[in-house]
Amino acid sequence: MKRAVPFVVALLLLSAGCLGGDSLKVSSVFGDGEVIPVKYTCDGIDVNPPLYLEGLSDEAVSVAIIVDDPDAPFGTFTHWVAWNLPPVKEIPEALPKNGTVSSPISFSQGRNDFGRTGYNGPCPPRGKPHHYRFKVYVLDTMLDLKPGATKKELERAMEGHVIQKGELVGLYARK
């Protein structure tokens, strides 16, 4: 009987969404742990890659994205901050780099660590590959945050509203 208790507990946690039942899968044109194509970097045309979301909760009201590089020489470097995206299965590539975007989807963007608004892709110093984390947050609300907000401001605004999170890690090194 002692062996049945952990299984029953695990089953209850799974049905409550605590053991991956509420997981969000994030994918793109590169796989998790694979090299990001040059097109999406400073060595290419520097546009955001498409992101595909699987397993979106029915409770989703909006989506937020943070892309950062934890391997940067002076600490984690932010490449993209976006919020109030619609909870859709595909976030298109090459989105405009405006603070407020209305087409092809409506959303807001903040300031990255390049000091610009919108996505700026991998651009590490020459050497070992860096890891770029494409973190996607599914929220139960729209955020009241002005365009140009920082990563920290977005993280504060999301507190208590994240119902799912998914992450895709891409690699990039300059030759």
Q: Which two tokens stand for residue 156?
A: 């504060």
The answer to whether residue 72 is domain-embedded is yes
Residue for token digits 């975007």? 101
The candidate with the shortest Cα–Cα distance to 47, out of 80, 76, 82, is 80
Q: CA–CA separation, 125 vs 129, rounded Å?
A: 9
Q: What is the CATH number of the domain that holds 91?
A: 3.90.280.10
**Domain housing 159:** 22-172
Answer whether 91's CB lies under 8 Å from 24's CB: no
Q: How many CB atoms lie within 10 A of CB 128?
A: 9
Comparison of pLDDT for 40 and 19, the residue scoring more: 40
Rg (alpha carbons) of the chain, rounded to whole number: 17
81-136 pLDDT, tens per residue? 999 999 999 999 999 999 999 999 999 999 999 999 999 999 999 999 999 999 99
Helix (H) or strand (E) holding 5: helix 4-15
pLDDT at 22: 65
pLDDT at 23: 86
143-166 pLDDT, tens per residue? 999 999 999 999 999 999 999 999
The answer to whether residue 121 is domain-embedded is yes
Q: What percent of the chain has pLDDT over 90?
A: 86
How many domains does the chain divide into?
1
Say if residue 4's pLDDT is above 90.
Answer: no
Q: What percent of the chain has pLDDT over 70?
A: 87
The answer to whether residue 3 is domain-embedded is no
Instruction: Kindly report whether the global pTM for this prediction surpasses the value 0.85.
Output: yes
